[in-house]
Amino acid sequence: MANEVKLQGTADQAQIDKWKALYGDVYSITGEGKICYIKKPNRKVMEYAASFQNNPIKMAETIFNSCFLGGCEDFKTDDELFLSAAPKLGSLVKLKETEIAKL
């Protein structure tokens, strides 16, 4: 087996499976040799975060901290890692195609 570099904060498969059982899909964010695990934000998280719309950093921090499941805590404490990782959460929220019709 090749020399595999283990990222700081790596969770074992058993932990990932527990998160999946609790939250559904689990995602990872990696950078600088570190990894963290997140879940998709739900409507309640987004609604609460929207209350900070005049403070984009607080809004992003609220969403990120609510979705953070585990891994390297540096993603929450290192400004550069946080500012790189937090915008990635937006890609998890997919809008579905809907239609409106006058009846």
- Domain range list for the chain: 13-89
pTM value? 0.84
* Topology classification of domain 13-89: rbstp2171 (3.30.2220)
List the 34-39 sheet strands across, edge first: 26-31, 34-39, 68-71
Amino acid 3: pLDDT? 60
21 CB burial (10 A radius; 0-12, 13-18, 19+): exposed
Longest dimension (CA), the chain: 64
Residue 2 has pLDDT above 70, yes or no: no
Tell me how many degrees the CA angle 62-40-92 measures, rounded to the nearest 5: 105
Amino acid 84: pLDDT? 93
Tell me how many degrees the CA angle 81-82-85 measures, rounded to the nearest 5: 85
Per-residue pLDDT tens over the stretch 38-70: 999 988 988 898 898 899 899 999 999 999 999
Residue 28: both structure tokens together: 């990872």
